[in-house]
Amino acid sequence: MKTTTLIKSTLCIISLSFSLSAFGGGSGGGSTGDDLPLPDTCTSNCGYELGPNPSLSFVSAAQGPQPVSTVSVSSSVDGFGGGTIYYPSNISQEMAAISIAPGFTNTQSAIAWWGPLLASHGFVVITIDTNSRFDQPDSRSRQLDSALSYLISQSDSSSSSISGLVDENRLATMGFSMGGGGSLQSASRNRLSAAVPLAPWNSGSNSFNQIAVPTMIMACENDSTANVSSHASPFYNTIPTSTDKAFMEISGGQHNCANGSNSNNALLATYGVSWMKRFLDKDHRYNQFLCGPNHESNSRISEFRDTCDFT
């Protein structure tokens, strides 16, 4: 999404000319979300921990300890519009997998920063292009799930660069703007182990009150496109308090403040990496960055909420 005016005018065209379901940019086959494997139920001492004992400088760095390789995914793939896979090139064991979707009118380049960052901390990551740049959150959610199914299928293929590298029971979605709304919708199907929506935008009815997936919402204080009071904040409040969840509002941030490749990179890395490590790798060493600190003592954070201590 670029501006509020663009979104409003486009949605007006949609309401006059098409139904949202027709315009939604077809999920194009692939996963329906309900056919993703069920998440691992292990919560501690699961044997998934990767990497050294973390410090604040470690989690806030521009890159983690692992070298990263990439694979391009053709736009002809079933279920989403292609993308790029990032994976640690020196790890041979199964790892958790993350799919990341861009926002309205964006391509994967808008969220590409997250791919190598998360992969360098021991995850298999795919940043996707959507079937249409105008796809709505529901379509983006299905495409995020399809991308996870694609990673699983590639891991099951002996000829793939990521053969044997994906743990199908530890999956997560992330997305910016309408991609963030898609990440929340994907989480509501409860086939994930974690979700991180970035400045999420979503309209109409939703099932966010059914989310049992550990979810961290990153919002932007001065967001005029996905206004915090009508998007990120009520989305967070709708998620049950029994669910492990957190809400971080970036001080003074405009809509793209949670997207990476900006002055907030260290902050985004700290919480994005820590959330994924804590809930995908079940690594309790990362609790120290999520529960306990006075988050708002950081001038870059205008508001922080959570349901600590996490299970």
* Residue 177 among the catalytic residues: yes
Rounded to whole angstroms, the Cα distance separating 170 from 279 reads: 9
> By C-alpha distance, which of 114, 108, 104, 105 is closest to 80?
108
Task: Find out whether 90 and 68 touch, Cβ atoms under 8 Å.
Answer: no
Identify any residues that bridge with 304 across adjacent strands, giving them in sequence order.
248
Q: Could you say which of 223, 244, 281, 283 is catalytic?
A: 223
* Residue 255 among the catalytic residues: yes
277 residue type, one letter: K
Residue 48 C-beta-side C-alpha neighbours within 13 Å: 27
Question: Can you give the length of the chain in residues?
Answer: 311
Q: Could you say which of 177, 183, 193, 302 is catalytic?
A: 177
Task: Find out whether 247 and 232 touch, Cβ atoms under 8 Å.
Answer: yes
Task: Find out whether 201 and 232 touch, Cβ atoms under 8 Å.
Answer: no
Task: Find out whether 50 and 91 touch, Cβ atoms under 8 Å.
Answer: yes
* Residue 284 among the catalytic residues: no
Rg from Cα positions in the chain = 18
Task: Find out whether 95 and 163 touch, Cβ atoms under 8 Å.
Answer: no
Q: Could you say which of 145, 255, 283, 295 is catalytic?
A: 255
Q: How far is CA 38 from CA 172, 207, 208, 258, in A?
A: 12, 18, 18, 29
Active site residues: 177, 223, 255
